[in-house]
Every structure is written in C-alpha cells, then in structure tokens.
C-alpha cells in the first residue's frame, strides 16, 4: 500500500514536471490533465508503429507524402509528377519518360486528390491514384514498392480537378475537367466560349491484375466547370456524381460572373449505361495525342507511348445516362455517404449543405419529373430529389467525409471549423475550430463503404501562428481530431509538406506486410544491369561512353576509369548488388548537370554526365552505407577531345 502511494506521488510529480517543462510556449498550463491524455492518444513509442498510413497530396510540390497516424510523422515523399533530385526521379534515364506529355517533358505538376483502390467498396491497399491538375494526368502508385508505376495524360481536359476518384471495384479512375476548352482544341475568340467549349469527363479503366490504365471513354459535357466528383457506392454503384460551377459559362472575372446563378448542378452520370453503350460500339473516335507512361519494376525503366485516338461520347446519344441535380451556390465538394443513398453538395458560397436522395433521384427519373434541360440534358426538380438541408451555421462548406456510425463531418473554409452532423436527421452534433481555413478533411476509408472512424485529419490552407515562424513561407498545418466519442477532440497539430488538398488513409495492417524490401538481383532485366562484378565494363559508341558499374558496401566496380574525353556523353549504369533491406547506395558525380542517384538493393539506374574539363574527377556514394562509406569513391580521368588514350577500367588494379 505504502509503495503504491509512493509510486502515485512520484508519477504525479513527474507529470507535473513534464507538463511544466513543455508548456513554456504560448498556451497556458491550466489544462495539463487534458493535454496529457491527448498526448497519450497520439504518442507512438520509439520503435512502435502507427495505426494508419495517410497519403497526403503534395499540391504544388507535385508529389505524394506518406504519414503515420496518429503520430503525424512523415515517412516518405513519393515523387509522382515532379522531378526529385533526392533519388534521381525524372532525372535518371529510366524515369525521364514518366514525365513525358503531349507538351514534351513537364517536370512538375499540382497534385490534388489521392484515392486508394477498392474491392467491393472496401479499401484493398493495392494502389493509390492521384491527379496532376495543371497538365492533366493521372498517376498510379504501387503500395508494394511505394513508387509511381504509371502516368496517363488526359486529353481534351484542362485543370484536371474533379479527379482521381475510383469506383468501388476500381473498375475506373475518373478524371473530370475543371476548365472547359474547345474540343478539339481550336483557334477561337475567347468570348465565343459559351456553347462552343466542352467539359470532358474521362473514365479510365484499371486492369484488375496489373493496374494498367487506359482511357475507356470521355463524355463531352456542356462547358461548365466540373469541380469535384464522387462515385456512387453500394446501392448507387454504377453512377458517378460531379459538382459544377460556372453554369453561367462566363469566360472572364469568374469570381463575379460565375456566381450569378442561385443554383448550379451536380451532374449524375450513369456510367454503367455508357459503358454498355461503348461496349456495343457506341461513341466517336477522335484523333488526339496524349502520353501513356509505364514503369516496369523488372527493367527498372519507364517507357512513354503517344496515343493518337480517344473514344468520345455525346451524352445526348445515350438517353437516360446523364441528369442534372440543381444544387445551390457553386457547390465544391461532392460526397456520397457509405450507404450510397445520399449525395452531398457543399455549396461553398452558402451556409447550408444540400443533401440529395439517390432513391428520390431514381424515382424522379422514372416519373420523368424534369424541370427543363441544359443543352438537352434533363434537369431534375430540386424539391423532388432533396433529402434534407444541414443548417450548420458555418460559412463556406467545402468537403464532407463519413465515419462508421452514421455521422458526417464537413469542413467550413470561411468559418474555419469542422462540423459533425447526423446523416438522416441532418442535426448538428458538434463543431470544433480548425487553425486555419480548412480545405479537405480525411477519415481513413472515409471515401469507401467502410470508413474507419477513429480520427479525422483537417488539412488547413493557412498556418500563421501555429508553429515557430520560418519567414513568409510556411508549411500548411493539419489538425488531428479523435472522433471515437460523441464530441470531437482536437488532439494533435502537425505541419504537412506542400499543400495537401486531400489525403487517403488506410489501416497500416492492410499494407505494411506487402511492402517490398529489396529488388531481386536475379530478376533484374535492365539492359545495362550487371549481376556480377566481373561483368563491369566500359564501352564507347562514338561520343557516347557507357559504364556498367556495380556497387556494394563499400566500393564501386570499377572505381578507376580512363579514356573518357571532353565532349563525350557518359552514361553511368549502376547496379546496387546489395540484397538486404534498407541498404541503398547513392551516386554523385562532380559537375553533373542533373542530380544524384539513389539506388535500391538490386536496382539499376542511369545518370548522364557530360565532362567539360580535362582532369581527374571523383564520384562517390551519397548514402552513409557502412563504417567505410567515406571510402566509397572513385575517379574518372578526362582527357582532351583529341587524346588517343584508350578506354580502361579497374578496381584495385584488376
């Protein structure tokens, strides 16, 4: 008894000591008991694993970051649409084709909405997809290698924003255009926008086994702005819903001119019907030009293919395939409840949320209760399809996600808050502030039939005073809320990289066991790979010099190379011969005008180098690989262009 008391006293004084130490910032220490219980909720002890992965889009970084929840620790930045000198992605000869487009190489993009593959409406953890908004592209990232495996360009699109959302068996990843454009592109006066521009909604099929993407069809819709989208699920599986704004079809000062109509539309697309139509030979093949880039895990090399044709569909040719659901105030987020019954329009200029009923929508269609049409597409009557309105009292609703207990969570940008409300009764249950100006929010699985409603992450646009100041530019803030109880609790706050527009979360158990540890050397099919050091060689083809090199702790084979001349283009093809987990080697060449390489065990990568000066130039390993890492280096002798020194190479004089 006495000893228990003693321990209690000690623990208490220790916690007082700890919280008083930690609280010398701006917040006061009067709620330390609450803080310490929140601290326990997000504390992942050294060596322990997080419960969830969170894949956060990088926004203007063009990439995808991997975080753990609840700790908020960042594990990796996966290069997707942007060159990444850290690993050589987009710089190495093997990965340059990944960034090829119909505009040539575009070494950057604005990545927005990751979505994880599903089977039967449940996360299956095979791939994560993400859209490039600027030069329209969709990428597929493997959740085995955590590398970008495929990028497909989307023609006839511009501002690829209502993307990349997937249907519940990953039949399609869907990409809609935010900016309508002439289709096909044409030299037109801009003020002839109205009626002449089109909005393309692209349905990109995904191969069940390989994940390989291909554009199945594009629906050419009226020239509105297609802002966000969501698949129907469960009962509404087979439909897809897109919010629109600028149904005014303004082409200038949209800030004012696209906000004139009291209601815009949610476009409801019966994609199963259109799929059937094109499978029966429907649609029009249109000449076009777009890049399809695929990375092969065995050759460690990407190839880019230009595709010259796309199948387009005029919605008027398929009666019953497309309807418009009037939705107030320029709706932004378009979200569907896990049951598939309710479609939520987050009218960003409104205080209220509009909830449409899928059952009522079908009923109105059945009974042909239309309220006119837009460019021939039937408009349903607002009152006929409305399930309810969430009177939140907040301002600027943007996005809604769901838990597994029948609740919805909506972000309000202008009033900086997350509002929890009840599906069906539409009553507000709770509201909590965010810091500040929240955009998207994410609940792991919140985009599927089966959400894991333990945490919600709010991704904010403005950081201001949340962290130590770092000059004018700040990383965006994210807040983590515990949503396991009736009321939400703000339990953690962490910075995120780039601008995460959206994120996709998944229980760690669904993917961590599949994560690849090495690439097998005996499966390496790279044309310049060498699988044993005695294959190391240097060959000349005119002014091109190809060096096939091996690396292992802690030397290069060969590490002395002579016979290279000024004006040559040198290709270092380097194979990492390690076969153990987490032993990458780096490669850096003095004066290289591109990047370094970071080469995983069993992998081959190629860096080019164009020596401009006579001399003996060193290269070295950049990744501290062993106690003898500092010794992992070599030299290339560069002779004058007219030199007759023959190529030679060696390691330790052999």
Partner 1 sequence: MRKIILSVFVLSLAVLVSCGDKTKKDSTEAPKEEVVKEEVVEVDPMQNKGVGPITSVTLAAEVDQELAKKGAEVYKQMCSACHKAEKKFVGPAPKGILERRTPEWVMNMILNPEVMVKEDPIAKALLAEYLSPMSNQNLTEEQARAVLEYFRTL
**Contacting residues toward partner 1, per CB under 8 A:** 7, 10, 14, 518, 521-522, 531-534, 550, 552-555, 557, 577-580, 583, 626-628, 652
d(CA 337, CA 332): 16
Cβ nearer to partner 1, comparing 7 with 590 = 7
Q: Least separation, in Å, of the C-beta of 10 and partner 1?
A: 6
Cα 466 from chain centroid (whole Å)? 25
Q: Least separation, in Å, of the C-beta of 626 and partner 1?
A: 7
Q: Least separation, in Å, of the C-beta of 108 and partner 1?
A: 37
The closest of 240, 353, 179, 215 to 292, measured between CA atoms, is: 215
Contact assessment for residue 353 and residue 400, using Cβ atoms and an 8 Å cutoff: yes
631 three-state secondary structure: helix
Q: Is the peptide bond before 436 cis (omega within 30 degrees of 0)?
A: yes
d(CA 598, CA 80): 16
Cβ nearer to partner 1, comparing 253 with 627 = 627
d(CA 244, CA 7): 62
The closest of 168, 173, 187, 184 to 234, measured between CA atoms, is: 168
Cβ nearer to partner 1, comparing 207 with 534 = 534
Q: Least separation, in Å, of the C-beta of 36 and partner 1?
A: 17
- Both tokens assigned to 79: 């290069």
Output the 3-class SS for 543-572.
Answer: CEEEEEEEEECCEEECCEEEEEECCCEEEE
Q: Least separation, in Å, of the C-beta of 553 and partner 1?
A: 5
Q: Least separation, in Å, of the C-beta of 587 and partner 1?
A: 16
DSSP conformation class of 629? G
Cβ nearer to partner 1, comparing 205 with 560 = 560
Cβ nearer to partner 1, comparing 6 with 543 = 6
d(CA 580, CA 601): 7
Cβ nearer to partner 1, comparing 61 with 548 = 548
DSSP line for 497-547 = SS----EEEEEGGGTGGG------GGG---TT--SSGGG-EEEEETTEEEE
Whole-angstrom CA distances from 452 to 50, 72, 76, 160, 505 are 14, 17, 23, 28, 9
Cβ nearer to partner 1, comparing 558 with 611 = 558
Cβ nearer to partner 1, comparing 417 with 578 = 578
b/e sequence 239-256, b meaning 16+ C-beta within 10 Å: bbbbbbbbbbbbbeeeee
Cβ nearer to partner 1, comparing 255 with 652 = 652
Q: Least separation, in Å, of the C-beta of 631 and partner 1?
A: 9
The DSSP H or E segment spanning 131 is strand 122-132
Q: Least separation, in Å, of the C-beta of 237 and partner 1?
A: 43
């Amino acid at each position: 008894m006495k000893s228990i008391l003693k321990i209690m006293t000690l623990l208490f004084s220790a916690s007082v000591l700890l919280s008083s130490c930690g609280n010398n910032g701006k917040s006061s220490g009067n709620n330390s008991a609450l803080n310490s219980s929140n601290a326990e909720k997000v504390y992942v002890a050294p060596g322990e694993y997080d419960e969830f992965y969170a894949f956060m889009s990088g926004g203007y970084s063009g990439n995808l970051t991997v975080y753990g929840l609840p700790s908020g620790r960042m594990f990796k930045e996966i290069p997707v649409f942007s060159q990444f000198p850290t690993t050589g992605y987009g710089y190495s000869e093997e990965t340059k084709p990944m960034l090829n487009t119909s505009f040539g190489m575009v070494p950057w993009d604005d990545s927005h909405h990751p979505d994880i593959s599903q089977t039967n409406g449940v996360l299956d953890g095979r791939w994560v997809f993400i859209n490039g908004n600027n030069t329209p592209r969709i990428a597929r990232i493997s959740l085995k290698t955590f590398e970008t495996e495929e990028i497909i360009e989307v023609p006839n699109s511009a501002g690829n924003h209502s993307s990349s959302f997937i249907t519940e068996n990953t039949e399609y990843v869907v990409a809609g255009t935010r900016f309508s454009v002439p289709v096909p592109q044409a030299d037109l006066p801009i003020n002839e926008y109205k009626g002449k521009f089109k909005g393309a909604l692209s349905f990109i099929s995904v191969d069940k086994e390989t994940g390989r993407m291909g554009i199945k069809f594009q629906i050419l819709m009226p020239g509105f702005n297609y802002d966000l989208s969501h698949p129907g699920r469960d009962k509404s599986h087979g439909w897809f819903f897109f919010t629109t704004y600028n149904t005014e079809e303004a082409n200038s000062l949209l800030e004012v001119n696209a906000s004139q109509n009291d209601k815009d539309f949610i476009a409801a697309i019966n994609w199963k019907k259109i799929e059937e139509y094109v499978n029966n030979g429907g649609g029009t093949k249109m000449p076009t030009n777009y890049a399809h880039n695929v990375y092969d895990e065995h050759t460690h090399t990407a190839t880019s293919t230009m595709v010259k044709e796309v199948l387009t569909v005029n919605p008027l040719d398929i009666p019953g395939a497309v309807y418009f659901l009037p939705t107030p105030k320029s709706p932004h987020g378009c979200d569907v409840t896990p049951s598939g019954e309710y479609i939520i329009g987050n009218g960003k200029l409104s205080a209220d949320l509009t909830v449409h009923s899928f059952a009522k929508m079908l009923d109105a269609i059945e009974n042909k209760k239309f309220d006119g049409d837009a460019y021939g597409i039937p408009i349903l009557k607002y009152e006929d399809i409305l399930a309810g309105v969430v009177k939140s009292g907040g301002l600027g609703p943007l996005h809604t996600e769901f838990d597994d207990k029948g609740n919805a969570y909506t972000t309000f940008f202008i009033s900086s808050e997350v509002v929890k409300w009840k599906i069906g009764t539409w009553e507000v249950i709770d509201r909590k502030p965010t810091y500040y100006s929240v955009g998207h929010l994410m609940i792991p699985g919140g985009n599927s039939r089966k959400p894991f409603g333990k945490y919600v992450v709010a991704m904010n646009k403005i950081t201001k005073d949340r962290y130590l100041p770092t000059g004018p530019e700040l990383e965006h803030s994210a807040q983590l809320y515990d949503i396991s109880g009736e009321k939400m609790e703000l339990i953690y706050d962490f910075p995120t990289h780039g601008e995460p527009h959206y994120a996709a979360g998944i229980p760690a158990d669904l993917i961590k066991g599949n994560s690849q540890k090495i690439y097998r050397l005996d499966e390496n099919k790279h044309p310049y790979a060498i699988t044993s050091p005695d294959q190391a060689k240097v060959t000349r083809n005119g002014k091109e010099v190809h060096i096939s090199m091996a690396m292992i702790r802690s030397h290069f084979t060969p590490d002395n190379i002579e016979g290279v001349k000024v004006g040559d283009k040198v290709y270092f093809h380097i194979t990492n011969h390690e076969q153990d987990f987490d032993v990458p080697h780096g490669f850096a060449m003095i004066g290289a005008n591109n990047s370094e390489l970071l080469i995983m065990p069993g992998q081959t990568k190629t860096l080019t180098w164009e020596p401009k000066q006579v001399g003996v130039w060193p290269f070295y390993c950049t990744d501290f690989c062993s106690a003898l890492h500092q010794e992992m280096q070599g030299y290339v002798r560069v002779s004058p262009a007219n030199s007759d020194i023959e190529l030679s190479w060696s390691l330790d004089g052999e």
